[in-house]
Amino acid sequence: MSEQGEKHERQGNGMEIDKIFRAAVKLEASDLHLKVGNPPYVRVGGVLRAMKREPIDEREMRRLCLPLLDQRNQEVFERDGGADFAHMLDVDGETWRFRVNLLTQMGHVGLVARRVNNTIPDFAGLHLPPQIEKLCSFHQGLILIAGVTGSGKSTTIASMLNWINAHYRKHILTLEDPIEFMFREDKCLINQREIGVDVKDFEIGMKHAVREDPDVMLVGEMRDQETFATAIHAAETGHLVFGTIHASNAATVINRILDLFPANMHSGLRSAIAANMVAIMAQKLVKAIDKEVGRVPTVEIMTFNSTVRKLILEEEDEKLGDAIRQGAQEGMQDFNMSLKDLVEKELIDQETAFDVSPNRQQLKMALKGIGVSQGGLI
């Protein structure tokens, strides 16, 4: 760990705010929210609830939050109005890690922190579909995980990288802002680089990466032209690349990527996507029947077979949903197929499935065992 990282970890064992972080851990909260004028809020089982203490005023908020910032993040916070970083602390002899966003809103300091699990569950432990294992067996290409904030994308990727770690002798390189899951080397050599701590910025990190002999790379969120172009280039040059993107389902990822670039580049991008993408997954977390489980992911999987590639090249993205359903024998599934499976396994109830279904009528027919017409494909 870097000197900065060690300093940050030492700081995490004596700060006033750590009392609130420890309470969040003991409540098994996934997220912690601090806002001036409110008591701390925690998200437990997907539901926000207030902690039993008095509201935080502006003076206390600054006293609690500002000591979290090292010099670099203080400069970022003052310049940008927000900063992302990791915070670690001990709770009953166990070290816990949080991904923290310190922000300003309406002129006040605020904080949102995501608790990162100390262990990385396997696919079965996360209730992920078993066909994800096949995706981890590819040696080259780009795999994107889509979903909104808090949909479990980072945990799914960590589980996939850990499967590779357990089954192959490869070099895994991650570029993260900040580092979330700490991997323990099994068969793989693993280097995790944190932007701003281990390397100045993402661009320099990727420039270094080509000289660091990685087999598998995690490049974080596809949020701009540079990140996606770099990820595609890494996939083209023989690497298996993982990334995340904010999109509601697998089919809409294509337009989400195109939106990052000017229209005159879209044709070339479609060719690059068709040639180098292995799969796009999208996921949402839904309430489980078992309160001990909390939430389980419903997962859409679109692998890039000849039909999907042809539809993307010919700009017929509206037909990708049908292509996913027709590709079930190749391991593809849409959200309704996933929801049906979760209901049948008694992980979620039907009411929950209908609440999150993109097509309630289609799901109702599927649960009754009635096949859905697969029209519209070429």
Answer for the pair 158, 132: CB distance below 8 angstroms, yes or no.
no
Residues 133 and 74 in one domain: no
- Tell me the residue range of the domain where 44 lies: 3-116
Among 62, 83, 116, where does a domain finish?
116
Residue 377 has pLDDT above 80, yes or no: no
State the average pLDDT over residues 77-86.
93
Q: Quick check: 10 pLDDT over 50? A: no
CA nearest neighbour of 155 among 130, 184, 119, 188? 119
- What pLDDT does residue 378 have? 35
176 lies in some domain: yes
Counted domains in the chain: 2
Residue 38 within any structural domain of the chain: yes
Residue 63 pLDDT exceeds 90: yes
Regarding whether 197 and 50 lie in a shared domain, the answer is no
Residues 248 and 212 both lie in one domain: yes
pLDDT of amino acid 13: 52
Across the chain, what does the average pLDDT equal?
91
Q: Does position 2 have pLDDT exceeding 50, yes or no?
A: no
For residue 3, pLDDT beyond 50: no
Q: What's the whole-number mean pLDDT along residues 354-374?
A: 84
Q: What pLDDT is attached to residue 371?
A: 59
Q: Residue 36's closest CA among 63, 71, 9, 69?
A: 63
d(CA 137, CA 28): 33
Amino acid (one-letter) located at 246? H
Q: Which CATH number characterizes residue 7's domain?
A: 3.30.450.90
pTM of the predicted model as reported, rounded to 2 decimal places: 0.83
**Is 134 found in the same domain as 18?**
no
Q: 42 pLDDT exceeds 50? A: yes
Instruction: Say what the pLDDT of residue 376 is.
Output: 37
Span 271-276, average pLDDT: 97
Q: Give pLDDT tens digits for 200-244.
A: 888 888 888 888 999 999 998 888 898 899 899 999 999 999 999
| In a shared domain, residues 171 and 278 | yes
Examine residue 373 and state whether it is found in any structural domain, yes or no.
no
For strand 295-303 and strand 82-91, is the pairing parallel, antiparallel, or unpaired?
unpaired
Give yes or no: residues 103 and 239 share one domain. no
- Does any domain span residue 374? no
Which CATH number does the domain housing residue 260 bear? 3.40.50.300
Q: In what order do the strands lie in the sheet with 41-44?
A: 47-50, 41-44, 31-34, 108-116, 94-105, 82-91
377 versus 330: the higher-pLDDT residue is: 330
- 223 with 93, same domain: the answer is no
Do the domain assignments include residue 378? Answer: no
Same domain as 129, residue 83: no
User: What pLDDT score does 373 carry?
Assistant: 44
Do 129 and 18 share a domain, yes or no? no
Question: Considering the domain boundaries, does residue 372 fall inside one?
Answer: no
In a domain, 232, yes or no: yes
Distance CA 42, CA 56 (A): 14
Token pair 């977390």 is found at: 285
| Residues 39 and 132 occupy one common structural domain | no
Residue 191 included in any domain:
yes
Lowest-confidence segment of 11-20, 46-55, 297-306, 329-338 by average pLDDT: 11-20
Say whether both 108 and 137 belong to one domain.
no
